[in-house]
Amino acid sequence: MRAVGIDLGTTNSEVAIVENGQARVLPGEDGDLILPSCVGFSDTGKLLVGREALRQYAAAPERTVKSIKRWMGTDHKTTLGAGVEETREYLPHEISAIILRALKQRAENALGETVTQAVITVPAYFTDAQRQATKTAGEIAGFEVLQIINEPTAAALAYDLRSDDTERVLVYDLGGGTFDVSVVEITGEVTEVLASHGNNRLGGDDFDRLLQLHLASMFRKEHGVDVPDDAVTQARLLRAAEELKMEMSTHAFATVREAFLGSKGKTALHLEAEVARADFEQLIRPLLAQTLEAIDRALADANLKPDQIDRIILVGGSTRIPLVQQMIEQHLGQVPTDGIQPDLCVALGAALQAGVLVGESVDAILVDVIPHSLGIAAAVNTPVGIMPGYFSVIIPRNSVVPVSRSQVYSTLLDNQEAVEIEVFQGENAIAEENVPLGSFKVENLPPKPAGSIQVEVHFDFDLSGILTVTTTEKGKGQQGTLVVSNTSIQRLSSHELKQARAELEALFESDETIEISSQVVTDDAKISPDLAALLARAQQVIESLEEEQAEELQNLLDQIDNAMARDSAELPQLQEELDDFLYYASTDEEE
């Protein structure tokens, strides 16, 4: 049985496999190696995952969800409907399960065999709850999750940096909405994450917004009026900015053309401008400077100087921007290694690890470290008396996993009946300043003087980064176990898991069969469901548009009506135009 490696990303996901000792990313039926991490339901109740879902995001944001990874490990609910009556709330791990299930299907189609085992990657900074949520998502999707591994570790594995000497690798990962930098040490077959820093609200989306403002100011200079401040026009400008940004990764100048962006009296105004890469670079430089600071912090944490780094690896679509590479090179005095596409290397590394775990001939073994210290809130004796609420670390950060540690605590009061065990992760000396993971009580303690009852707290942190806490009352053997439960995500019982899997399977099976009445605005039987969905959406959107844009949309709808009546070959082109129009009209509802 072969096992796959999965990069479950905020913006995009991939699935890869090892064949003959080599990892490769598996394509979908459309040949695309990347599956956008986007899920939705079509108007007819069909489940959509990936690019299809992303496409309808424009027409139906209320039936589509993106960037669910930001919410992993929380109980944030997303309402998604297969139709009015089928609307349901989903937790983040349930949405992720749908993405993983689609990747499973992609792998099975590509390989022609069932795939049940997977290694899934998560950012090095992911908390215990986020890792657990990821694992649960994998299980619901029908996988046995062999291991949850850190993304930078996977990236390093993909570069196959194993040698007999110790190599220290800096992994710089800049995606659409997140940034991480990690320092990884590889010795022979052992890989450790020494330190990791980042900003989960920094990425290519910010560059797009800066460029959008720049374009607006060019427009103002040229025409003496502002680009209209309505959401539709601004969204068009943002989309144009992203295209321009990508163009400038390979060209020193690029041209943007957006027609009918505004008006002056009765005259329509267009934006047509050439932007120099150098100007774009000026805009994003301060944000990139922040990423350099994070590099410095990671190096300091790992106790390393820049010249002790043997190699730099770039991960994430935004590292294609030449200035990113230049600034890193200047800062660290070293040219980043390239050779693997930055958006695929995490999945490839995960596949290598999966191969190792099922005994393929790939000889790399992983050893990860825990990203945050783990401990409990405890009172400490100070010169001014007993101070409660201190963070007593049981497993320090950067301990190699798996790791088990115990510490013994005593009662604080005479005749104390119960002890509250509050578990946190983080680095602050004040417990409350750290991330709470859950709490539980050890109760029915015998009446005894303060300090004479001892409770041992045992932490067990496993290879998948999941923490189990048990307590034992000394001398009595009384046990308590903590369900890590600061979120709604817990390990599911086998019954719950079975049920969740069955529900998910039903969703996938119902793809073709369920036809929930759609709000199609025409009764033409030849109309495709996609066009029907767009038309329905257009009817909703038109109500909220400014006069000029409403007219533009109505014009387009009339042309479509006309084309349908004539069965014209122009229909696909017009449908695309409508899709684009609605995309601009609704991207403001995104966040």
| Choice from 8, 145, 321, 376 touching ligand AMP (CB under 6 A) | 321
Instruction: State yes or no: is 7 an active-site residue.
Output: yes
| Choice from 62, 242, 279, 301 touching ligand AMP (CB under 6 A) | 242
Q: Which of 52, 128, 151, 579 is catalytic?
A: 151
Residue 123 interacting with ligand AMP (CB under 6 A): no
Q: 3-state DSSP call for residue 429?
A: coil
Nearer to ligand AMP, 13 or 411 (CB): 13
Instruction: State yes or no: is 173 an active-site residue.
Output: yes
Nearer to ligand AMP, 347 or 364 (CB): 347
Q: Which of 173, 185, 473, 579 is catalytic?
A: 173
Q: 3-state DSSP call for residue 99?
A: helix
Yes or no: say if 123 and 177 are a contact pair by the CB < 8 Å rule: no
Residue 291 interacting with ligand AMP (CB under 6 A): no
Residue 127 beta carbon to ligand AMP: minimum distance, rounded to whole angstroms: 20
198 contact partners, CB below 8 Å, separation of at least 6: 123, 125, 173, 178, 179, 180, 181, 294
Residue 245 interacting with ligand AMP (CB under 6 A): yes
Question: For the chain, what percentages of helix, strand and coil (3-state, to nearest 5) are there?
Answer: 40, 30, 30
| d(C-alpha 581, C-alpha 44), whole Å | 22
Residue 9 interacting with ligand AMP (CB under 6 A): yes
Residue 318 interacting with ligand AMP (CB under 6 A): yes
Nearer to ligand AMP, 127 or 318 (CB): 318
Residue 391 pairs in a beta bridge with 377
AA letter at 159: Y
Q: 3-state DSSP call for residue 427?
A: coil
| Choice from 14, 192, 258, 343 touching ligand AMP (CB under 6 A) | 343
Rounded alpha-carbon distances, angstroms, from residue 439 to 420, 435, 442, 469, 474:
7, 12, 10, 10, 20
Yes or no: say if 128 and 467 are a contact pair by the CB < 8 Å rule: yes
Instruction: State yes or no: is 441 an active-site residue.
Output: no
Yes or no: say if 354 and 4 are a contact pair by the CB < 8 Å rule: yes
Residue 198 interacting with ligand AMP (CB under 6 A): no
> What is the residue whose two structure tokens read 């959107």?
541
Window of 90-98, 179-187, 231-239, 245-253 that interacts with ligand AMP by CB under 6 A: 245-253
AA letter at 587: T
Nearer to ligand AMP, 139 or 343 (CB): 343
Binding residues among 203-222 for ligand AMP as defined by CB under 6 A: 203-205
AA letter at 150: N
Residue 277 interacting with ligand AMP (CB under 6 A): no
Residue 69 interacting with ligand AMP (CB under 6 A): no
Residue 14 interacting with ligand AMP (CB under 6 A): no
| d(C-alpha 333, C-alpha 307), whole Å | 8
Residue 12 interacting with ligand AMP (CB under 6 A): yes
Q: 3-state DSSP call for residue 228?
A: coil
Residue 341 interacting with ligand AMP (CB under 6 A): no
Residues forming contacts to ligand AMP in the complex (CB under 6 A) are 9, 11-12, 175-176, 203-205, 242, 245-246, 249, 316-318, 320-321, 343
